[in-house]
Amino acid sequence: MNILPPNIDFGCILNDTSKKKYISLTNISEMAVNYEWSFLEEEQGSPLKEQEESKSKKNAVSKKSKMLPINEVFDILPVSGTLQPGETETVEFTFYSGHGLLYNGIAVCSVDGGPDYEVPIVGESSFVSYKLSATELDYGEIPYNEQSSKEFFIENIGKVPFQYNINLSTVSRPGIVECHPMTGKVAAGEKYKVIVKFFPGIPSNIDEMFLVECAHFPAQRFKVRAVGTYPGCLLSFPRSEDEEFVKRFEDVKRLVQKGGKGVEYQAFFTSGEALKQMAPLPKPIEKDKTLNKEPLVMEVEAEVDRRVLCEKILSQIEVAQQKQLFATTNAFNQT
């Protein structure tokens, strides 16, 4: 008989689950053979002890982690059969895990009138355990039309490999947050790097949240934030006082006069900082009061401009999304 692979290692799997592996059994003799599988218990496992516990806890663990006979942990199908010369059969081995236990044994294939073939078999069970290197990322101030990248790590601090998935369904607009890779498998003891790209899209405070889904655990919230900034200038020319601008101006003015509590934008334009950076005005202009705006007026106009810009950008984004949805719907209807 030829048996491949010559041994079976189930690795470490999640408690109270099962895993299957397969071997090929080939009759390399010139006559038909009858075979039968059985188990030889080589070494019973021991409970996983990852930290020192009190005596009472140890007693509880030992009761929960009672060792089972090897033939109740591993299963073989088919357990017996007949192979003609040159015939190959696939044999299925199943491991039914317990609670933090390691099982070693030997599966014996006995051939009538021939030798016994031993196949070492091992399986271990544990729980999934992981941690994130961070649960939020702060990108600070970013030009609203530029992208910035940061990273975090998903670490497997247990013995069982697990799959993770990044869920962006909670993000308010497409394109704000991109993660790479979106899915992956984290092996035991390894760290998996996830790159998070942030694109504000508008000059405003951006607070978003996506979900990190690891194994069977509830999704974990991951927060990302940034302040979108934009280049701008204020001119001493009078504004065109249309009704819309006047209304916006008065609304924002009331917020600005509240002293920082009314306007939430974290990169808010302050006239004091602007005046410090401004070159001295020529004396004729400095004397002309009509060309010098009050600091409060400067701040209000800057905030009105920012809000108008945000509205225009969001409006264009909405139009683009509707066009894309319309094109997708048409393409689907034509198929």
The pLDDT assigned to 331 comes to 72
Residue 194, Cβ neighbours under 10 Å: how many? 20
Query: What's the rounded mean pLDDT across residues 236-248?
Result: 76
* Fold agreement between 2-126 and 130-229: yes
Query: Residue 163: enclosing H or E segment and its boundaries?
Result: strand 162-167
CATH architecture, domain defined by 2-126: Sandwich (2.60)
Comparing 280 with 244, the larger pLDDT belongs to 244
Query: What's the rounded mean pLDDT across residues 240-257?
Result: 81
What confidence tens digit (pLDDT) does each residue in 97-114 have? 877 889 998 999 999 988
Res. 273: pLDDT tops 80 = no
Question: What are the angstrom distances between the C-alpha of 252 and each of 129, 240, 271, 296, 301?
Answer: 50, 17, 15, 11, 9
Question: Residue 150's pLDDT band (boundaries 50, 70, 90)?
Answer: very high
Question: Residue 260's pLDDT band (boundaries 50, 70, 90)?
Answer: low
The pLDDT assigned to 55 comes to 46
Which CATH superfamily groups domain 130-229? Immunoglobulins (2.60.40.10)
- DSSP for 185-233, written as a single string: EE-TT-EEEEEEEE---SSSEEEEEEEEEETTSPPEEEEEEEEEE----
Res. 203: pLDDT tops 60 = yes
The pLDDT assigned to 262 comes to 61
Domain locations in the chain as residue ranges: 2-126, 130-229, 243-334
Res. 290: pLDDT tops 70 = no
Mean per-residue pLDDT over the chain, rounded: 84
The pLDDT assigned to 51 comes to 43
Question: What's the CA dihedral at 71, 73, 79, 85 to 10 degrees?
Answer: -110
Question: Residue 264's pLDDT band (boundaries 50, 70, 90)?
Answer: confident
The pLDDT assigned to 53 comes to 44
Query: What's the rounded mean pLDDT across residues 286-308?
Result: 74
